[in-house]
Amino acid sequence: MSSPSFRPLMLATLVDEPVEGDDWIFERKLDGIRLLIVRDHDTLHLYTRNEVDHTERYPELHDALIHQRCDRYVVDGEVVAFDGARTSFARLQGRSGLSDPEQIVATGIAVKLYLFDMVHLDGEDRDELALRDRKALLRDAFDFDDPLRFCSHRNADGPAFLEQACRDGWEGLIAKRARSRYRSGRSRDWLKLKCTARQEFVIGGFTDPTGSRSRFGALLLGYRRDDALVYAGRVGTGFDQHTLEELGDELERRERPDSPFDDAPDDDVHWVRPDLVCEVGFTEWTNDGKLRHPRYLGLREDKSAEDVVREEPEASP
């Protein structure tokens, strides 16, 4: 017997081409925040991948999970908010930092929790079971009424499914080896197949606003390479007024006199302590290693700045 407890999440590797074959299953790539749910009888926690407790932020998820008939488990999933038929990380940002129930209700933003893996159940670790068996355990152990949803999958036709996903405006797919065990850390048993380019970046500075814009103009972005913060360009779109005010406060609290980058231009820039991580969508990387047409999507509180690297797709298996 073992006790349910937090463990580092299993992470997918970005690849350049979809995979095929009976050894793979294909799930929708959700545009939200990964959560590991740990319940031990009457104690229940929702942890981000960097082990930050977000239980108070999602009271509706806590209530749904604490009333399940099984009361000792560790399950892996993702919390999302919808914008029409699509999951939207930008919309989920409207719930960021809120724990007061009245403020949460006032946002009008409903969330859903998609569960896709069972890591522990009833005092036994299940990580050595094959993925198909873990998903079967998960489906049988829970009652999937809103806001809980089972993350379904397809067993074949990955390339065609990816084409459909991109036509429908999804972020992409996750391909998983059907016989794989649950292993903490990044793995080639789970693969990311993206429809659009997007990833996390560290914020290292900001420019003054122009025109009617308030608080700041653009953010200077970077990623880690060895011990250096490499400059990746600026993002100046994707901010509403609420974001400008709240993020402006965070930036001002972090101002510092010198640049955290090894190679960024220093004309009219306010430098900041590089510990804020944001997600950015963009069309492509330029030949000189900068982002083309970037758009700010939101802060990522679930990832440490030290872990942000440039995502380079690997060759598919």
Residue 125's closest CA among 117, 48, 256, 315? 117
- What are the strands, taking DSSP E only, across the chain? 10-14, 24-28, 33-40, 43-47, 72-83, 86-87, 111-121, 124-125, 148-150, 172-177, 185-194, 197-207, 219-225, 228-235, 255-256, 269-282, 284-285, 291-292, 295-299
Residue 29 designated active-site: yes
- For 6, the enclosing helix (H) or strand (E) is none
Under 8 Å between Cβ of 214 and 288: no
Q: Which residues does residue 198 pair with via DSSP β-bridges, in sequence order?
A: 281
Active-site choice (29, 135, 176, 194): 29
> What phi-psi label fits residue 212: left (phi over 0), alpha (psi between -120 and 50 degrees) or beta?
alpha
C-alpha to C-alpha distances, 240 to 212, 213, 247, nearest whole angstrom: 12, 10, 10
Separation between Cα atoms, residue 16 and residue 314, nearest integer Å: 6
Separation between Cα atoms, residue 52 and residue 59, nearest integer Å: 16
Active-site positions? 29
